[in-house]
């Protein structure tokens, strides 16, 4: 390796080592809220616990973790948790980012930072990156890459900073556990049962009874098994692997509203499997 490459490698290592450390004060940082004009600072949330996440629309891991952040936000907002998503897309109009956020059903604040000043202030490389900031403004923990808010270790870290006992959080946690019963309620709420029967009768779409585990022929000629993975994909992106005989756009239009969270999707899949009397595992 020549000298130039060594210097570049050392600079990258130094940048990672010098990244904002835990137990030190979070940098002074402010950005413009999505759709707004006046900047808002992290300091304005002093006294609350902040989970700040930097992300971009082109980042696949970012898209996968955002619904879980929304679930976390709803669960702990009343205990003082504030989540801020800092979008770093360059040249994107606010309207495009707004559509992206709306498609995921995100309600926590989104800030725009197309110049990516966040990276300089927090000394980070790449997205996603997440920081947990306590009520005193100190960095309690950080995650590089995709964070799983449902992982027990991460939940304990957030609860500890919030001052929430695990026993106090248990009822809210149980409410997030996917079950077939919750899947049925969700199917009713989203209008799924107006198109798919549960007794074997043919409707606009195939009956969900005994559907799981069967084969399906796609519009492109491929044949796939309706296993857990296929059903998850069919729910989250209905037109990606559309069945033969269905016009493109039909299924996406049949499920309006925000995109389902991971927990909701899992509950719906469990319900479909329960109608076939088989296990998704």
pLDDT at residue 14, as a whole number:
42
Q: How would you classify the pairing of strands 110-112 and 40-41?
A: unpaired
pLDDT in tens, 31-50: 999 989 899 999 999 999 99
State how far the Cα of 178 lies from the Cα of 183, in Å rounded to an integer: 7
Q: CB–CB of 243/217 below 8 Å?
A: yes
Q: CB–CB of 113/40 below 8 Å?
A: no
pLDDT in tens, 103-115: 888 899 999 999 9
- Name the phi and psi angles at 30, rounded to 5: -145, 150
Q: CB–CB of 216/243 below 8 Å?
A: yes
pLDDT in tens, 164-212: 875 555 555 555 556 778 888 888 877 888 888 888 887 777 888 888 8
pLDDT at residue 258, as a whole number:
65
Under 8 Å CB-to-CB from 80, ≥6 apart: which residues? 47, 48, 49, 135, 162
pLDDT in tens, 221-236: 888 888 888 888 888 8
Q: CB–CB of 86/120 below 8 Å?
A: no
Higher-confidence position of 61 and 9: 61
Domains observed in the chain: 18-175 (3.40.30.10), 180-274 (1.10.760.10)
């Amino acid at each position: 390796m020549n000298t130039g490459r060594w210097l570049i490698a050392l600079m990258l290592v130094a940048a990672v080592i010098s990244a904002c450390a835990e137990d030190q004060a979070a940098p002074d940082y402010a950005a413009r809220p999505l759709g707004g004009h006046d900047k808002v600072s992290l300091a304005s949330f002093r006294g609350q616990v902040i989970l700040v996440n930097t992300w971009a629309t082109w980042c696949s891991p970012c898209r996968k973790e955002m619904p879980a952040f929304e679930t976390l936000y709803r669960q702990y907002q009343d205990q003082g948790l504030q989540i801020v998503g800092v979008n770093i897309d360059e040249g994107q109009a606010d309207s495009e980012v707004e559509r992206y956020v709306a498609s995921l059903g995100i309600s926590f604040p989104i800030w725009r930072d197309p110049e990516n000043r966040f990276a300089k202030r927090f000394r980070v490389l790449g997205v996603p990156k997440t920081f947990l900031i306590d009520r005193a403004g100190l960095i309690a923990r950080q995650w590089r890459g995709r964070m799983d808010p449902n992982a027990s270790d991460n939940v304990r870290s957030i609860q500890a900073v919030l001052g929430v006992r695990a026993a106090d959080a248990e009822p809210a946690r149980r409410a997030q556990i996917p079950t077939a019963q919750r899947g049925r309620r969700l199917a009713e709420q989203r209008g799924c049962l107006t198109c798919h029967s549960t007794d074997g009768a043919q409707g606009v779409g195939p009956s969900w009874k005994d559907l799981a585990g069967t084969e399906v022929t796609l519009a492109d000629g491929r044949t796939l098994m309706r296993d857990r993975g296929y059903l998850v994909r069919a729910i989250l992106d209905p037109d990606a692997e559309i069945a033969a005989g269905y016009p493109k756009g039909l299924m996406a239009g049949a499920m309006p509203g925000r995109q389902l969270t991971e927990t909701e999707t899992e509950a719906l899949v469990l319900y479909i499997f329960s109608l076939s009397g088989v296990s998704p595992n």
